[in-house]
C-alpha cells in the first residue's frame, strides 16, 4: 500500500482493528472494493440498510406511479367505447376488438430489443421516463384520430412505446436489489397495477363527464387528459429516478461501491462493469435451454386453454361448470408439490396450474360484465373493484413461500382458496337462480325484489335474465 493511500482518512485505523471485511472476496474470487475493506461489519450492514431504504423511498414509488399510469392508459380505449368512439369512427365490434389487440403487435416484439438496449444506457431511469413521455404523447394524440385506420396506426405505435416500461422496470429493479429483496419489490409493482385497475375506470368515468365541453367528445377528453398527465408525470420522474448503482448521483462513492458489490457478489459483473455485446447477450438468452424449454410451455399451454375455455363458454353460454372444473384441477395440482419431490411431477403441476388457477378469473370477469351490465359506471367500477381486491394477494402471498421444498403454507393456502372459491361461486349460483325465478314469476312483489337486487326496469322490459349459471 502506498504512503499516499495511508494518508487517506479511510485507512487511518490500527492494524489490529482492521475489519474482517478486508480482503473479502466473492465466489468468483473478486476482491471487495478498496473503499469497503476497512469498514467494520456493522458499518457495512448499516450502509447497506441506508442504500436499500433510499432506493425504496425513491425508486419504488416512482416506478409504481408510472405503472399505474401505464395501466390507466391501456384501459382508456375500453372506457372510450362507452362514450361513443365506435360510433364517431364508424367502427364495427370486430374492428374495435382489433384496435384493442393491435397494441400488442407493437408491444410484444419491442420488449426484447428495448431491454437489450437499456443494458447499454448509463441512465436507465431517464430512458424509461422518456418512453413514458412518448407513450403519453401518443395516447393524447389518439384524441385527434378521425377514422379506424388512424386509430390502428396510433395503437400499434403506442404498443411499441409501452414495450419499454414493464420489462425495463423489472430489469432496472434487478440492478439495485439482491435476490432476497427483489421479489417483494416486484410484488409492489403488481400492487401498483391493481391500483391502476381499481381507479382507472373511476378516473375515466369522471373525465367522460366533460363530453361536449368546447365541442370535444368525452372520449377525446379522456385521451387528452390522461395522456397529458402521463407526459407531465414522466418529465417529473425523469428528474427523480437514479441511474445504475455504479454511477448513481444520489449515493456517495462508498455507497456506490457497496451497491455494486452486493449485486456482483450474487451474480457476477454488475451493470456498467461488463463488456458483453447486446447481440451476444441476446444469442445467449435464446440458446439457454432453461429459457424456452422450461418456462415457455406452461404459458403457451395457458394461452391456448384460455382461448378454448372462453370459446366454449361463449358457445355454450356457460361459466359455472367450467369454474368448478378448473378449481378441481387446481386442487390436485396444489397437492402434487406438497406430496412429492419428483421433478417431473412437480413440473407437470406447474404446467397445468397457470390455466387452471387463472382460468376462473377470466370467467369471473365475464360474469361481472354480464351480470352487472347496467348502469355502465356500475360495471366499470365493479370490474376495477374485484380486480383490486384480488390484487391484495400480492401483498401477502410472497410471505407464504418458506420451508422449501414442499412449501406447505403456500400451496395449502392456495388449495384452501380454491375450495373457498368453489363454495362462494356455488352460493352465488343459488342467488342468481333465485333472482331469475323472481323475474319469471310475474309477481310484482317478487319482481320488485329483483329490482332491489340490481336489475333495472329497462332490463326487465328486455326480458333480461342472469345467464351462464
Q: What is the CATH number of the domain that holds 66?
A: 1.20.1250.20
Q: Mean pLDDT throughout 262-278?
A: 57
First-to-last C-alpha distance (Å) of the chain: 79
CA distance 450 to 125: 53
What is the count of structural domains for the chain?
A: 2
- Reply yes or no on whether the pLDDT at 53 is more than 70: yes
Lowest mean pLDDT among 158-162, 275-279, 313-317: 275-279
Please report whether residue 130 resides in a domain.
yes
In a domain, 203, yes or no: yes
Most confident of 281-285, 351-355, 370-374: 351-355
Whole-angstrom distance, CA of residue 299 vs CA of residue 373 = 31
Per-residue pLDDT averaged across 217-229, rounded? 92
DSSP bridge partners of 31: 25
* Domain assignment of residue 7, yes or no: no
pLDDT the model gives residue 241: 82
pLDDT at res. 378: 57
379 and 410 together in one domain: yes
- Do the beta carbons of residue 107 and residue 200 sit within 8 Å? no
Instruction: DSSP for 206-227, please give it.
Output: HHGGGTTGGG--HHHHHHHHHH
Extract the C-alpha cell encoding 125.
431511469
pLDDT value, residue 225 = 92
Listed range (53-57, 58-62, 63-67, 374-378) with the worst mean pLDDT = 374-378
Which tens digits make up the pLDDT trace of 422-463?
999 999 999 999 999 999 998 999 999 888 888 878 778 878
Residues 42 and 150 in one domain: yes
Here the cell at position 235 is 418529465
Lowest mean pLDDT among 3-17, 87-101, 278-292, 395-409: 3-17
Q: How far apart are CA 304 and CA 311, in angstroms?
A: 11
Q: Are 227 and 70 in contact (CB under 8 A)?
A: no
Q: Judge whether 23 lies within some domain.
A: no
Residue 343: pLDDT over 60: yes
421 assigned to some structural domain: yes
* Whether residue 276 is found in the same domain as residue 374: no
Domain containing 427 equals 288-469
Confidence of residue 330 (pLDDT cuts 50, 70, 90): very high
Q: What is the pLDDT of residues 235-252, one digit of tens each?
A: 999 888 878 888 788 888
Rounded distance, CA 270 to CA 288, Å? 20
Q: Are residues 301 and 191 in the same domain?
A: no
Q: For residues 236 and 298, state if they share a domain.
A: no
Output the CA torsion 299→295→386→199 (10° steps): -110
Same structural domain, 271 and 295: no
Q: What is the mean pLDDT of the chain?
A: 79
Going by pLDDT thresholds of 50, 70 and 90, the confidence category of residue 282 is low
Examine the domain organization and report whether 255 and 304 are in the same domain. Answer: no
| Structure confidence at residue 34 (pLDDT) | 79
3-state secondary structure of 93: helix
Which of 284, 303, 336 terminates a domain? The answer is: 284
- Domain membership flag for residue 17: no
Residue 15 lies in a domain: no
What pTM value is reported for the model? 0.57
Better-predicted residue by pLDDT, 424 or 404: 424
Please give the DSSP secondary-structure letter assigned to residue 400: G
Amino acid at each position: 500500500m502506498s504512503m499516499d493511500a495511508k494518508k487517506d482518512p479511510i485507512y487511518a485505523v490500527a492494524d489490529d482493528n482492521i475489519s474482517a471485511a478486508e480482503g473479502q472476496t466473492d465466489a468468483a474470487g473478486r476482491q471487495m472494493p478498496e473503499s469497503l475493506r476497512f469498514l467494520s461489519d456493522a458499518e457495512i450492514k448499516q450502509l447497506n440498510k441506508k442504500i436499500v431504504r433510499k432506493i425504496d423511498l425513491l425508486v419504488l414509488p416512482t416506478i409504481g406511479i408510472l405503472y399505474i399510469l401505464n395501466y390507466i392508459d391501456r384501459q382508456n380505449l375500453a372506457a372510450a367505447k362507452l362514450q361513443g368512439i365506435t360510433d364517431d369512427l364508424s367502427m364495427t365490434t370486430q374492428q374495435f376488438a382489433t384496435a384493442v389487440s393491435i397494441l400488442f403487435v407493437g408491444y410484444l416484439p419491442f420488449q426484447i430489443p428495448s431491454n437489450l438496449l437499456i443494458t447499454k444506457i448509463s441512465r436507465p431511469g431517464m430512458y424509461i421516463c422518456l418512453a413514458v413521455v412518448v407513450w403519453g404523447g401518443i395516447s393524447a394524440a389518439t384524441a385527434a384520430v378521425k377514422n379506424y385506420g388512424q386509430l390502428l396506426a396510433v395503437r400499434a405505435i403506442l404498443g411499441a412505446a409501452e414495450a419499454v416500461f414493464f420489462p425495463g422496470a423489472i430489469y432496472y429493479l434487478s440492478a439495485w436489489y439482491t435476490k432476497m429483496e427483489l421479489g417483494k419489490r416486484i410484488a409492489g409493482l403488481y400492487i401498483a397495477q391493481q391500483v391502476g385497475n381499481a381507479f382507472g375506470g373511476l378516473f375515466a368515468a369522471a373525465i367522460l363527464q366533460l363530453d361536449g365541453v368546447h365541442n370535444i367528445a368525452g372520449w377525446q377528453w379522456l385521451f387528452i387528459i390522461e395522456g397529458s398527465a402521463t407526459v407531465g408525470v414522466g418529465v417529473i420522474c425523469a428528474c427523480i429516478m437514479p441511474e445504475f448503482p455504479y454511477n448513481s448521483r444520489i449515493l456517495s462513492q462508498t455507497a456506490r461501491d457497496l451497491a455494486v458489490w452486493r449485486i456482483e457478489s450474487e451474480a457476477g459483473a454488475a451493470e456498467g462493469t461488463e463488456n458483453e455485446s447486446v447481440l451476444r447477450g441476446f444469442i445467449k438468452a435464446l440458446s439457454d435451454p432453461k429459457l424456452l424449454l422450461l418456462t415457455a410451455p406452461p404459458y403457451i399451454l395457458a394461452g391456448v386453454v384460455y382461448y378454448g375455455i372462453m370459446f366454449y363458454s361463449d358457445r355454450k353460454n356457460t361459466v359455472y361448470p367450467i369454474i368448478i372444473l378448473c378449481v378441481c384441477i387446481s386442487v390436485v395440482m396444489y397437492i402434487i408439490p406438497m406430496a412429492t419431490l419428483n421433478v417431473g411431477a412437480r413440473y407437470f403441476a406447474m404446467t397445468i396450474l397457470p390455466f387452471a388457477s387463472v382460468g376462473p378469473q377470466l370467467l369471473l370477469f365475464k360474469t361481472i360484465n354480464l351480470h352487472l351490465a347496467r348502469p355502465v359506471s356500475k360495471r366499470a367500477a365493479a370490474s376495477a373493484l374485484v380486480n383490486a381486491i384480488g390484487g391484495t394477494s400480492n401483498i401477502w402471498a410472497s410471505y407464504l413461500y418458506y420451508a422449501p421444498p414442499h412449501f406447505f403454507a403456500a400451496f395449502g393456502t392456495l388449495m384452501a382458496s380454491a375450495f373457498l372459491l368453489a363454495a362462494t361461486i356455488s352460493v352465488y349460483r343459488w342467488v342468481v337462480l333465485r333472482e331469475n325465478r323472481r323475474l319469471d314469476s310475474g309477481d310484482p312483489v317478487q319482481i320488485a325484489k329483483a329490482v332491489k337486487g340490481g336489475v333495472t326496469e329497462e332490463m326487465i322490459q328486455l326480458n333480461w335474465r342472469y345467464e351462464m349459471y
